[in-house]
Structure 1
Amino acid sequence: MRAALAAAIRAMALLAVAAMLIGSTEAAKKYLFKTCAQSSFCRRGRAYADAAEAAGADWHPPYAVDPASVQLRQGVLSGTVVKTAVDADGAAVGVKLPFQLVFLESGAVRFLIEEDRPKSAPKRYDEAVRWAISGDLGATAAVEDVTTAADTAAGVRRLRFGPGWTAVVELATVRVTFERDGAAQVVLNERGLLAVEHWRPRGPGPAFGGEDTTDMWEESFGGKQDSKPNGPEAVAVDVTFPGYGHVYGIPEHADRFALRSTRGGEGNHDEPYRLYNVDIFEYEVDSPMAMYGAIPFMQAQRAGSAVGVFWANAAETWIDIVHGADGTRTHWLSEAGLVDVFVMLGPDATSLYQQYGALTGYAELPPLYSLGYHQCRWNYQNERDVLEVDAGFDRHEIPYDVIWLDIDYTDSRKYFTWEQSAFPTPERMMAALDERRRKLVAIIDPHIKKEAGYGVYEDMTKAGLAVATADGGEYNGWCWPGESAWIDTLAPAAVEYWKRLFRPGAFAGRAHNLAIWNDMNEPSVFDGPEGSAPRDARHYGGWEHRAVHNLYGMTFHNATVQALNAREPRQRPFVLTRAFFAGSQRVGPMWTGDNQATWDYLRVATPMLLSSSVAGYGFVGADVGGFFGNPEHELWARWYQAGAFYPFFRGHAHIESKRREPWLAGEPYTGIIRDAIRLRYQLLPSLYTAFHRASFDGSPILRPLFMLAPANDAALAIDDQFFFGETGLLVKPVVDPGVTETDVYVPDDEVYYGYPDRTVYRGVGNHRVPAGLDTIPMLARGGHIFTRRDRYRRSTALMAHDPLTLVVSVDAAGNAGGALYMDDGETHGHTKGAYLHRFFMFSSQDNILRSRSVRPSTAASRAFDKTIDTVRVERVIVVGFDLGRLKAGQTTVETFQDKKSWSSHISVTPAADGRASMIVVRDPKVLITADWSIEF
């Protein structure tokens, strides 16, 4: 009885702590998370960099390549870096660090340093690439040794490996310079900050002369002790981008898109950017603090050029950035693992994203419904509540596709169960949703309640599938259910077990419209260090948690997706994650976590989503309206206008927030929200086309200005507007109250048209545009053609056979182009050729708009065409066309399809009052599956 009472008291105390964290203010949370000075390896690494800076030309780091060890064989330059150290007795010790410079088929180059340890010593973690990299790591044979006699005399190896690309390796300093056309683009170890904390036996006092060993063997923070059984294992290197003034990426941080300097000064940070997946309630804005996910990819950009580096390390990582007149210097430090750097030389942003995607994988094409609107809160109370909300959308004529359930749908927060009094017939509830082709998302987290009789826990622990303590016992901590264990999804057997829990007839019965939400998978542990798992916990293979921390969330996400993929009938899975790592884009979408209902959080959402987008993770979103608190009505409406362009579009709210179904806003706000959601559905054909492109070349859905205007240096720091997918729409969300007009920056000399009012904007620079509460500032860039569906439907599946509208915005020369991709939106049939892919071209040379197929004709593609052979183009809108090319009084255009021709009626609006001309072709009677032409 006494033990049970003590356990109950502890549970209540921990849940009270959780409640305090949830309700804490921004300033009150910093003490829960480490600074660099409180992280011993970061402190040592920064001190090392400071010593190098102070020494200047007199800096002589103890690392050099043994020239006799170097050899080039089949696209790999290999050898041994020797670290010269002095032991406690003053004797010189040489630590051998094998290295490789691997020139990959993709054009990227891998720089890898390992450690030659005694057999009795624990192995360094070396499996991060197994999880992050999906591409071929084989070397290319197309590497030419162009080392000259002068190079050899100077201890230099020079290798040519691409279109004007050269790698220059300086052996004495372990400096590697990557050049393009003779100019340095990326330099590894330029400042000599390479560091590998080698294995050494534990002993009293300094292990090596003069070395600071403080906290090398044990470390504590917030009253939690880290035993560090493997001793110090940190690795570091500096990466310089000569001539590049802007760097981006390394999500996740609530900060500007263009990353700031981290060594102080006005407008800069004093702390490095930290990558360490943590559950951070109400995260701070304008901060380099760690958040829920970590992608150690950085892009450097200047006018006309882009390069990038990927630091393949899953341990806690800190990154210092210093911008200077001659470029940007960065310093990367990780607590464990290897020095494993992939360098990509672009030369432009599009090529860079292809190279990064070739390494870490491209996003799978998501199910079409997942691009619609999602309605969520913590928590919809019961089946009746769910179905009443569902009916409310229909009653107010607002489309949506997915309704979500948070943790309280479960029985006492035991996953794979239902709270019987509230959800007695979940299959019946899902069947009712399916009548309107809608889906249900249920949350499943990695913490499994430790309770006798709970089959999931008992099966998991019996099979030894849980994360272990440092001494090999089952690790237990506290989370939403109380005392819990965590499934170890690094273990193949754990993944197989997880898959069985989702099998048809189990958790959700045989309902086919169930999707999943993975939350708290950093992992979040209420009583753990920094709210997460102990670093000395153990995973499959004996690996310490410290080495795999940042990829744990991805392994859990991956296990859930595998489980849904194993269900029959096979459909494309949808699984949302909060924690992520490089490669998570292959698995499913993520969102930016627990934001607040304030203007600052609306403002920071755009740069956060851009940062993830350029780091390969395009299917991203932020909670619309803010998770915590209650948005004022203007903010509520503006957030929906912004969210209509988030790749993942979900409204979500905390359990203590007021109900936020869109119709509760009241007029005029409900009407504004309705219009924003309908705009999203209108643009779905073009959005899906953008996702298709991302699935094979990595192009972001939200595109920074430099993707379409790469020559404009002034556009590099702009992060409050973006290009939306394949549409050419330049969007600037309004993120301040009381706005009626705003400046939109036009980044190039192309003509732009107000959308949809056709106001003409020309010339690089800011242009004043209307931005009243019912207006989303958008400009259509000339030269683009995109598709819309203009009929109102209740969900995406009900739009499948609706007609299409083509919007043609001609460029300054009178031309335009665009694409449309379609498939069934649900199955994997597209991988077998069951899809439509068309290209549209409008040429000023002959005034003809053409539609042509750009896919091979196969039995699968022809069969798919038959399923949509009634889908027609009901309208073509041409903006900016030179009406002088029409005949006087012309009211028709000639349409051609299947060797037949006919006249189609047009209406013409001349250019006037600063607005471009417009021609509307009404019902040209052309089919989307056919090749056709319209001659103006």
Structure 2
Amino acid sequence: MRKLCYIPVVAIWIAIFSVVGGVDRNNFKTCDQSSFCRRYRAMKKGESPYQLLLNTLKEGESDLQVSLINIKNVVHFNLKLTALENFDFRLEIDEAQPIKQRYRVDYALKGEPATRKLVVTERTSESITVTNGHNKAVLHASPFKIDLYNGKTLMMSLNAQGLLKFEHYRQKTEKPAVPEGEEAVEPPAPVDEAEADIGAWEENYKSHHDAKPHGPSAVGLDFSFPNADYAYGIPEHADSLALKATTATDPYRLYNLDVFEYELNNGMALYGSIPFLIAHGVEATAGVLWLNAAETWVDIEGGAHKGSNVVSSIVNFVSGSGTPPPPLEARFVSESGMIDAFLFLGPNPETVSKNYAEISGVTPLPPLFSLGYHQCRWNYNDEDDVKSVDAGFDQHDIPYDVIWLDIEYTEGKKYFTWDKIKFPHADDMMKNLSLKGHHMVVIIDPHIKREGGYYVHEDATSNGLYVKNKDGNDYEGWCWPGSSSYLDFFNPVVRDYYASKYSLDNFWGTTLDTHIWNDMNEPSVFNGPEVTMPKDCVHYGGWEHRDVHNLYGLTHIMSTFDGLLKRSQGKLRPFILTRSVFIGSQRYAAVWTGDNMAEWEHLQASIPMCLSISLAGMPFCGADIGGFFKNPDSELFYRWYQIGAFLPFMRAHSHIDTKRREPWAYDPETTSLVRSAVRRRYEYLPLWYTLFRHHEVDGLPIMRPIWYNYPKDKSAFTIEDEFMLGKELLVHPVTKSGLTEVSVYFPGEKDLWYDIDELELFSGHGTKTVQTPKEKIPVYQRGGTIIPKKMRIRRSSALAKDDPYTLQIALNADGLASGSLYLDDGETYEYQKGQYVSLVYHYDGTTMVSQLVDKEASFASKSWLERIIVMGVRKAPGRIVLKSQSVGEQEIEFAFNPNKHLLVIRKPAVPIAEEWKLFFH
């Protein structure tokens, strides 16, 4: 969101965002300009000064603790290795005697991870071997290294390259004053190379000064994955799905920043930072969660990553004239904090995802309306504008669920207020939308306008609720309102205060159908270093901002979630959209890819960006349809809707200076194409809702790379222009202008794929050419699956609540299929008390059954089964008989198309929440 407010903000805005048409790289640091990154990259492999003191070993029920020493400076550290309940390990390294406690990340995990017994199975003078179920860790003393095994397979090694780094806190030695007439004495040499760095105790960037009272404090560690070809994850970056080698570039940076008109195809930091990496190869999959909230850089090298120069190594090795190709390496380094790493030993993608989800949490089942279509713009001007847009959807027969208001709805950029001239009847506007099954989302940012008389500012000032600068005064920066201060959400009192502002009594004009957009929460500070808060600001508990920066947005949405939950006395599920994310953000909010542009390249980038975010545990991801900046032509516009219909979060959004672009803003043909795409979204809402329920239960991503479902298919490892939804749908959007055909890769040597438009078998395994006229979205249902759908056209998802269902069956090569359907009231938490229905379906050619997964659960649904479509049927049945408790036994009508091998069973008319059987004679 961008806005020129008034003169002071304009001046700052121009100074920061002076490059038209692209990011100004001068506003953001490179690794060389970040002293701790520069120091870490200067380290030489194979020269580790760290050793374990095995005689200090202490065994606990679920962990071992042992001393670690840096023999160069004789600083001691405590190492703790814990056995997790899911058979993985947690490694923690901290200073043994710090002069100040190092920050241990809070809030990110869903709770204290469950543990199990750790068994020391072997101990020598050189190593310790421990087991956790079928997994094993071998700790080597000198030089220090940890090898981790799943069974007999080496999954990863830590400090194999000798790049462990832990810069201890220290007191600065001041140069003594020299009395007159005496010669100056040279100060003692630095204890280590960190202290000698020009940026060790203070650092300047442009006009900003960063004081470091405890000196250099970086922590870093290398991870090697001998069985992996590629690394994925560590979002957010506008880059490829498979991470690139960084040997000739800057490392990937994780530092939440408001980057204006971000570039594509590089590792620059963006709005979110989730330091979770998956290393994958044909033989094994492993993962690392680097639990650190400070600025972090990640180098990638080796494996099959582009730029790693491994091809020649492989050729030389095979010919016998060289050494084995280098293993995949990932090297993490953070400015401060401690080393706290969760080590996931797979051995497959699903196990890594499940175990990561057990620690960081899942996205709870969202309200059904949030899976529909969202209409947003910066800004809808007033009540009449909102009414006109709402009427436009009715006029053009396009469903939608949510209309959004950007910052201009407020009174002078003061949050929790309304502009009473533009929105004098906000509560009535909300109620009128609700009567048609619609909702509204309004924006609330974390910066607070410093204006006398504004009650939030007065409360924050008098009660000490703001973040402090290094001198202990309220920190003041600049954002949309002009002079602003920032609430310190690390303080539980602040979180409670902020949550209370969302109550219907405190936030006039809102109703229970009003939901929240938390933007600018990196935090964005227009006049701050790198457009964010200075690192030497101080938060509750005495923690410097450098320690907790990437956590700030998470604490913001935690407060919002709590407020929305309390607003309904804990009955209704909140919907929140956030821009800044960290580990655990998925428990509270959806995310989008930020301020993209109306360019084909940004349309293409939305796929790998959301795939990376999904792999990192946040399934509810989308991108601004049409692009936030600039004006899309009609082709880009409708093609973007076609991909948006198959991303988990579907929202159109645009900049205040762009042309109006509601779905009917172009020619009638474009409107028709957009209408079809949006209707397709609603047709598949039962599948979306079921997939989100599955994620809540098992922690697996909803939007998946092809390799995730086909982990041994090397051809899929770098595919990023198509994806899968669960295991059911393969989606290959049109992402380039003027294409009348695309090449689609169909994985699975024995799998069959059915065109969802033609309802017939399209292809088996391999790359096929698909025709893509304007109306075509290349989407294919995998053989062996059953998908629930709703075919009636309504204005919103709420109005389709009691509509009948269609089951769409795609048979595999053996004529079998299975699937599931989940339903509840779509808005409350009653499902957690057993108020739901979860069904599984099985089809084998002679029978089809509907079975309740949990017979103790129940939900009174008025919906019924209207139709069953079976694709891939080779022979028509003579007759079909239905048996159920409600209808008894009766023969069912059907039609068979022998050319398409399509069987359509008409109106079984059985209640959708009931068990039943079909018999094919």
TM bin (shorter chain): over 0.9
Q: Does 1:160 align with 2:147?
A: no
Is 1:718 aligned to residue 698 of structure 2? no
CA contact (8 A) 1:787 1:807 kept: yes
Which of 157, 160, 181 lines up with 1:187 in the alignment? Answer: 157
Is 1:895 paired with 2:882? yes
* Structure 2 counterpart of 1:208, from 191, 196, 207: 191
Residue range with higher mean Cα deviation, 313-322 or 740-749: 740-749
Aligned to 2:85: 105
State whether residues 617 and 701 of structure 2, in contact with CA within 8 Å, keep that contact through their aligned partners in structure 1.
yes
Per the TM alignment, residue 107 of structure 1 is displaced from its structure 2 partner at its CA by 2.3
2:94 alignment partner AA: E
Partner SS state of residue 477, structure 2: strand
Query: Which residue is equivalent to 1:288?
Result: 267
Q: 2:140 aligns with which of 151, 166, 170?
A: 170
Please state how far the C-alpha of 1:759 moved relative to its aligned partner. 4.7
TM-aligned CA deviation for residue 672 of structure 1: 0.6
The superposition leaves residues 173-205 of structure 1 with CA deviations (integer Å, 9 ceiling, x where unpaired) of: 221111122221111111110000112211256
CA distance in 2, matches of 1:390, 1:22: 34
1:124 to 102, 124, 147: 102
Q: How does 1:702-781 map to 2 (within 5 A)?
A: 702-725=703-726, 728-749=728-749, 750-781=751-782
| Residues 1:69 and 2:56 aligned together | yes
Equivalent residue in structure 2 for 1:920, among 901, 904, 907: 904
Instruction: Return the letter of the residue paired with 1:144.
Output: V
Kindly provide the CA deviation profile for residues 606-627 of structure 1, in whole angstroms up to 9, marking residues without a partner as x.
0000000011000011100000
Q: Partner of 1:559: helix, strand, or coil?
A: helix
Question: How many Å separate the matches in 2 of 1:75 and 1:506?
Answer: 48
Q: Is 1:137–2:113 an aligned residue pair?
A: yes
* Deviation larger for 708-717 or 556-565: 708-717
Q: Secondary structure at the match of 1:131?
A: coil
Q: Distance between the aligned counterparts of 1:824 and 1:871, measured in 2?
A: 12
Q: Distance in 1 between matches of 2:59 and 2:246?
A: 38
Query: How far does the alpha carbon of each residue in 1:265-321 deviate from its partner, in whole angstroms, 9 at most, with x for none?
Result: xxxxx1100000000011111010000000000001112532100000000000000
1:350 partnered with 2:350: yes
**Offset of residue 162 of structure 1:** 2.4
CA–CA separation in structure 2 for the residues paired with 1:465 and 1:295 = 27
Find the residue that maps to 1:851 and give its secondary structure: strand
In the alignment, is residue 14 of structure 1 matched against residue 9 of structure 2? yes
Task: Verify: 1:848 aligned to 2:850, yes or no.
Answer: no
Aligned equivalents of 2:437 and 2:11: distance in 1? Answer: 40
Gaps of 5+ in 2: 176-186, 304-324
Q: Distance in 1 between matches of 2:16 and 2:192?
A: 44
Distance 1:24 1:753, change over 3 A: same
The 8 Å contact of residues 26 and 283 in structure 1, kept in 2 or not, is answered as no
CA contact (8 A) 1:687 1:725 kept: no
Match of 2:184 in 1: none
Partner of 1:874 in structure 2? 866
2:265 is the counterpart of 1:277: no
Larger CA deviation: 706-715 vs 455-464:
706-715
Contact 2:869-2:905 at 8 Å conserved across structures: yes
Task: Give, in whole Å, the separation in 1 of the partners of 2:760 and 2:740.
Answer: 17
Counterpart Cα distance in 2 of 1:492 and 1:521: 18
Q: Return the alpha-carbon distance in structure 1 between the equivalents of residues 47 and 884 of structure 2.
A: 74
Aligned counterparts of 1:252 and 1:498: Cα–Cα separation in 2: 27
SS class of match (2:64): strand
Q: State the secondary structure of the residue aligned to 1:564.
A: helix
Give the C-alpha shift of residue 752 in structure 1. Answer: 1.0
Give CA-to-partner distance per residue, 1:812-866, whole Å, 9 cap, x none: 111000000001011111111111100010114xx211100001325xx2xx22x
2:204 aligns to what? 220
Q: Identity of aligned pairs, percent?
A: 41
Are the counterparts in 2 of residues 117 and 199 from structure 1 also a CA contact under 8 Å? Answer: no
Report if the CA contact (8 A) 2:171-2:214 is conserved.
no
Q: Which runs of 5+ in 1 are unaligned?
A: 1-8, 53-58, 87-93, 265-269
Tell me what 1:684 maps to: 685
User: How far 1:586 moved relative to its partner?
Assistant: 0.5
2:605 matched residue in structure 1? 604
Residue of structure 2 equivalent to 1:95: 75
Instruction: Tell me the residue number matched to 1:314.
Output: 293
Asked if the contact 1:874–1:924 (Cα under 8 Å) also holds between the matched residues in 2, the reply is: yes
The answer as to 2:38 corresponding to 1:38 is no
Residue 871 of structure 1 deviates from its aligned partner by 1.2
Q: Could you tell me how far 1:27 is from its partner in structure 2?
A: 5.1
Please give the per-residue CA displacement for 1:719-766, whole angstroms capped at 9, x wherever unaligned.
11111235x110001110111111110111211112221453444321
3-state DSSP of counterpart to 2:908:
strand
Tell whether the 8 Å contact from 1:602 to 1:639 is kept in structure 2 after alignment: yes
Change in Cα spacing, 1:721 to 1:529, as seen in structure 2 (3 Å) is same
Q: 1:745 touches 1:766 (CA, 8 Å); kept in 2?
A: yes
Q: Quick one: distance in 2 between partners of 1:336 and 1:510?
A: 41
Q: 1:611 to 1:162 in 2, by over 3 A?
A: same
Deviations 1:346-381 (A, max 9, x none): 221111111000000111111000000000000100
1:314 partner amino acid: A
Measured against aligned partners, the alpha-carbon deviations of 1:485-514 in whole angstroms (never above 9, x if no partner) come to 100111000011112211122213562210
- SS across alignment from 2:668: coil
> What pairs with 1:330-349 in structure 2 (closer than 5 Å)?
330-349=330-349
Write out aligned runs for 1:501-900 (5 A). 501-509=501-509, 511-568=511-568, 570-725=571-726, 728-749=728-749, 750-844=751-845, 847-858=846-857, 861=858, 864-865=859-860, 868=861, 870-883=862-875, 886-887=876-877, 890=878, 892-898=879-885, 900=888
Task: Give me the whole-angstrom Cα distance separating, in 2, the residues matched to 1:796 and 1:693.
Answer: 20
* Residues in 1 aligned to 2:442 and 2:733: alpha-carbon distance in whole angstroms: 30
* TM-score in terms of structure 2 length: 0.94
**1:538 and 1:856 mapped to 2: Cα distance?**
53
2: CA distance, partners of 1:759 / 1:645? 20
- Counterpart of 1:244 (choices 228, 242, 253) is 228
Q: Which residue is equivalent to 1:4? A: none
Across the aligned residues of Structure 1 and Structure 2, the Cα RMSD in angstroms comes to 1.6
Residue type of the alignment partner of 2:336: A
Is contact 1:380-1:405 (8 Å) kept? yes
Match of 1:56 in 2: none
Residue 561 of structure 1 aligns to a residue whose secondary structure is helix
- In the aligned structure 1, how far is the partner of 2:298 from the partner of 2:226? 17
Q: Does the CA contact (< 8 Å) of 1:243 and 1:326 recur in 2?
A: no
Partner Cα distance (2:72, 2:458) in 1: 50
C-alpha displacement of 1:209: 5.0
For 1:197, the equivalent position in structure 2 comes to 167
Match of 2:406 in 1: 406
Structure 2 vs 1, CA of residues 489 and 854 (structure 1 numbering), >3 Å: closer, same or farther?
Answer: same
| Contact preservation (8 Å) 2:23, 2:263 | no
2:121 maps to what in 1?
146
Structure 1 residues 363 and 28: CA distance shift in structure 2, 3 A: closer
